[in-house]
Amino acid sequence: MIGVMGNHLTETRFRRVDDYSVEGYATLQQDRSVEFTSGEITLLIPEVDEIHQMDNFTDRPTVEIHVYGNDLRGLNRCRYNLETGKITPFVTEKYDNC
């Protein structure tokens, strides 16, 4: 769950539309884009609806709080390059934005 406490946040969700046949690459299609303002929340459902991008298109910082159902440290995760389709795996070692 991600809650916006101040300013705005634009969340863009993506769907994976390829057949998973090329390891390390994915074809993503934009599903939707929604702007959230102070007091609103968004939910991510692992393995169902979690490929997303968060942007702040304003000139002010956005304050948000993230609540996870699990500790992200040690969790295998991925970054998707929208231009090349490359998937880069990573493991969160520590919280670097706190």
Q: What confidence tens digit (pLDDT) does each residue in 44-60 have?
A: 887 787 899 999 999 99
The residue ranking higher by pLDDT, 21 or 95, is 21
- Segment 58-72 shows an average pLDDT of 88
- The whole-angstrom separation of Cα 98 and Cα 88 is 23
DSSP assignment letter at 12: E
- Segment 23-36 shows an average pLDDT of 96
* CA–centroid distance for 25 within its chain: 17
Name the token pair of 53: 């991008």
pTM: 0.83
What's the pLDDT at 57?
94
What's the pLDDT at 95?
63
- Segment 80-90 shows an average pLDDT of 95
